[in-house]
Amino acid sequence: MNNFRYRMQRFMAGRNGADRLFYILTIAYVALMFLNVFLHSMILYFVGIGVFAAAAFRYFSRNTAKRRRENAKAEQAYYSAAAKVNKMKTRREQSRTYFFKRCPNCGKTLRLPRVKGKHGTKCPACGCKFSVRIIKGAKK
């Protein structure tokens, strides 16, 4: 058993191995194959095989610098998407007591108290004054 482990360590030395992009590609492959169980599409099958081949290529690649750059881009996209999801979740939670309105001048999103009626407000970023009409008051 130790002989096999030693051979595997020697084989994987200097190779990329598993990183976040490898796991993302593997999950995408499993999802595509699961979806293909119901759709029976040859196109979906070959796309899934391509995703699996890309994951395997990345795993066994010796060009670790290039794989590291690809992984960094994937992680940046992953964290950017996670930040957007968290922002939407926070906004949905705060929508009971606050009203969100974009400034017509600079486009910055303002968080205003949810008080029914027409109100005048001033953007703290650019100083633009505009009116806001809130139809529904705070939810209880």
- The candidate with the shortest Cα–Cα distance to 105, out of 80, 130, 82, is 130
Q: Please give the C-alpha separations between residue 139 and each of 93, 95, 97, 98, 121, in angstroms, as whole numbers.
A: 11, 9, 7, 10, 22
pLDDT tens, residue by residue, 54-90: 999 999 999 999 999 999 999 999 999 999 999 999 9
54 near 25, Cβ under 8 Å? yes
Is pTM beyond 0.85? Reply is: no
CA angle 107, 111, 112 (to 5 degrees): 115
Q: Which two tokens stand for residue 88?
A: 């939407």
pLDDT along the chain (140 residues), means of 10: 89 91 96 97 97 96 95 95 96 92 94 92 94 79
Mean pLDDT, the chain, rounded, equals: 93
